[in-house]
């Protein structure tokens, strides 16, 4: 007979792709917990079937968390409650931090069983600096809110990590290219699954790639820190300036290109005026 787990809250990381990525310790906790607090019982049921166990499950997600949390906290006084998300480490772009906070306030023991995280896995695949990074979750869906969110991140000297969906990927990459300029980036999708893929390039290159061909699967975007962009050739800057002048007056064209290439705005304005006079 298995030894009963001590009462408390257990944060259990689950696979983001290959079910074999579940750690032996995580499998043991799931098998012995009194109840599992799950994001989607159908998803967790497949994982439990994989390890050959059945456990009671209670849905715990954004829509019911405030209602369910008090009962879960009460149960932790005498039961082992394991929190899992559909994939990866709970609390990372998933509900859960309030459960941990309230459990600690109630004197409940909280234990983490670490494991897969799509954000960290994508960082290992991107080939970009990892000494400092910022996980920013999902960008807003509406264009104005998305642009504002990107503007807040533009000056942060750390690698940026975002989650995204296939249908929104092209628009997100285009917004990042416009807001962050010429930076190296990577798009990692289906990590740890059969069709895992990582594509690298500049933000504008990736935006062009996915503009008309949205991919399937779960996606992570990794963007190089400010100041990490490859130096642009003078011909590339001039070409971009000429293109901008077709749409904008010289001052605005210079500002757009300066932001995109990290170049001097005054110098670009002078160049724009010279190009206008030559036309």
Rounded Cα distance, 65 and 96, in Å: 8
- Supply 133's token pair: 């990074």
Burial of 38 (0-12, 13-18, 19+ CB in 10 A): buried
Residue indicated by tokens 């599992």:
36
Residue indicated by tokens 């500002």:
255
What are the DSSP calls for 108-144, one per residue? --EEEE----HHHHHHHHH-S--SSEEEEEEPPSSHH
Which whole-number Å values give the CA distances from 33 to 29, 45, 102, 261, in the listed order? 6, 14, 19, 54
Rounded Cα distance, 92 and 95, in Å: 8
How many C-beta atoms lie closer than 10 Å to residue 131's C-beta?
7
Q: Structure pTM?
A: 0.79
Rounded Cα distance, 226 and 200, in Å: 17
User: Could you read off the pLDDT tens digit of each residue along the chain, which spans 279 residues?
Assistant: 578 899 999 999 999 999 999 999 999 999 999 999 999 999 999 999 999 999 999 999 989 999 999 999 999 999 999 999 999 999 988 878 999 999 999 999 999 999 999 999 999 999 999 999 999 999 999 999 999 999 999 989 999 999 999 999 999 999 999 999 989 999 999 999 999 999 999 999 999 999 988 999 899 999 999 875 555 677 788 888 888 888 899 998 888 888 777 777 888 888 888 888 876
CB-based burial, 2-11: b 16+ in 10 Å, e otherwise: eeebeebbbb
Nearest to 31 by CA among 58, 17, 7, 49: 49
Bridge partner list, 69: none
């Amino acid at each position: 007979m298995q030894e009963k787990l001590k009462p408390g809250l257990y944060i259990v990381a689950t696979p983001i792709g290959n079910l074999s990525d579940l750690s032996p310790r995580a499998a043991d906790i799931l098998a012995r917990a009194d109840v599992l607090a799950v994001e989607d019982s159908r998803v967790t049921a497949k994982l439990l079937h994989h390890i050959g166990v059945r456990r009671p499950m209670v849905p715990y997600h954004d829509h019911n968390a405030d209602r369910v949390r008090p009962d879960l906290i009460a149960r932790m006084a005498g039961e082992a409650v394991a929190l899992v998300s559909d994939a990866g480490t709970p609390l990372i772009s998933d509900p859960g931090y309030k459960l941990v906070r309230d459990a600690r306030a109630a004197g409940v023991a909280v234990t983490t069983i670490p494991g897969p995280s799509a954000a960290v896995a994508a960082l290992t695949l991107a080939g970009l600096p990892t000494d400092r990074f910022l996980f920013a979750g999902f960008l807003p869906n509406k264009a104005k809110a998305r642009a504002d969110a990107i503007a807040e991140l533009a000056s942060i000297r750390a690698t940026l990590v975002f989650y995204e969906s296939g249908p929104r990927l092209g628009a997100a990459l285009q917004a990042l290219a416009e807001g962050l300029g010429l930076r190296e980036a990577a798009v990692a999708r289906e990590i740890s699954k059969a069709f895992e893929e990582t594509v690298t390039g500049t933000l504008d290159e990736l935006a062009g790639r996915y503009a008309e061909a949205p991919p399937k699967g779960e996606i992570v975007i990794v963007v190089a820190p400010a100041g990490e962009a490859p130096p642009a050739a003078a011909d590339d800057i001039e070409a971009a300036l000429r293109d901008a002048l077709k749409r904008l007056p010289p001052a605005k064209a210079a500002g757009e290109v300066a932001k995109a290439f990290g170049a001097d705005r005054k110098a670009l304005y002078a160049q724009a005026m010279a190009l206008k006079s030559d036309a």
